[in-house]
Chains A and B, each alone.
Chain A
Amino acid sequence: MSDALRPMTENELHAYADGQMAADDVSRVEAWLTAHPEDAARIAAWRIQNEAIRDMFGPYAKTLPEDAARLKTPPRNPLLARLPLRAPAAVMLFALGTATGLALPSLLGSPATATPIFEQASDAYRIYAREVRHPVEVWAGEKDHLVAWLGKRLGERVVAPDLTASGYTLVGGRLVPVDGVAGALLMYEDKSGKRLTLLLGRTPKKNETAFQFASSGAVETLYWMDNGLAYAVSGEVSRQALRSIADECYRQFQPA
């Protein structure tokens, strides 16, 4: 008698349904299933169930923006956590956090609770720069309209800096919220399609700051404030490249 007529075990049927059976055995199971439709129906039901379970859990397999940071932070030391020192240290950290929290955002012209401009900039880069069909609201073809519109919404003079010297051309721009009010996002790309964004936000005071770097994952941001606007250039490029681009932006935003 041929092996094909040996009854299938439950385990073999499950292994077949899960695609975990050696190729040699597959034909044996298939022969069995042709002769035993009730088993074929059970396998079909398991497969439908598998599919439904995968569909259901698929959305949970997501990446959160803080994931990379969570891998970098040194783990809590369980011994340290038990020391009585912990409470005073926490108080101190809190005080320190409050102090810097109060001091720093005022430098950036935003309330203590606001997301700092560089984070808003790297988020905007991450969200919009990967868009293939709708990276911008107004394309570079309508550049004059774009800068006039954004300038009007921001209440400040907006220019779309010419970055061709660095190899980047204007893609276009869009209106985005920055610190809760209208801001602008200009997008550039080079010949290979690598993109940069320039985020512009209004600042309450006529602040002026030095250029500062911030990294968020692979995204580097260089930001500064000048003349009533906060500027942030973001991209997945070296800090050096970002520096020269920021220099150009800075120069071109100076009143003529």
Chain B
Amino acid sequence: MLDLMPSLRRYARSLTRSDADGEDLLQDSLERALVKRSQWAGGSLKAWAFSIMTNLYRNETVRAARRRSLPIENADAVPATLSPPGDPLEQRRLAAAIDSLAPDFRAVLMLVVVESMSYREVASLLQIPEGTVMSRLARARTQIARYLEADNIIPLRRTE
């Protein structure tokens, strides 16, 4: 589980779009996982932990929407201290593009692209058909590309 924490932290950050909320989600997920550890049916610990986090996030979003009390903070995106590689401006725009995705689309994109899970793993983790995984992925990609084009700057041309 300790080995999974960096990935879980990253996934939590991508779902919540904020460092602080990401840490909270990570903490809640760890606690849930520890409480429910007897329910882990063997198999991939990673998939199990990721599905706990996804479900917690979904529940929390539903509750927050019902309360209408938590306006999701705007994407001032990647904190400066992280200084990710590449052009900082492009990074910001990409971050904003990803943040603009609906949570379910963002989850699919993260699990496939960043966590390198197979479509099938993602489907079982999110409990949706594999075809839905693929269509969400396709739409997420199109939406990001469109978002970046809308700013009329050539997106993501990385220096070689």
Interface residues of A (CB under 8 A from B): 10-11, 14-15, 18, 20, 45-46, 48-64, 67-68, 70-71, 74-76
Contact = CB atoms under 8 A, between A and B. Distances in A.
B5 A67 contact: yes
- Name A's interface SS: helix
Contact of B86 (A10, A18, A50, A55): A55
Contact of B14 (A48, A57, A68): A57
Given A14-B138, A59-B82, A60-B82, A52 B94 contact: yes
A64 B9 CA distance: 10
Nearest to A9: B134
B6 A46 contact: no
Given A49-B141, A53-B113, A58 B84 contact: yes
Interface size classification for chain B? 35 or more
Contact of B5 (A53, A63, A76): A63
B109 A45 contact: no
Contacts of A54: 113-114
Q: Shortest 10 CB-CB distances between A and B: which pairs?
A: A61-B6, A60-B10, A75-B31, A61-B10, A59-B82, A60-B13, A11-B134, A75-B34, A52-B156, A67-B5
Interface in B91-114: 91, 94-95, 98, 109-110, 112-114
Given A55-B85, A56-B84, A70-B27, A50 B113 contact: yes
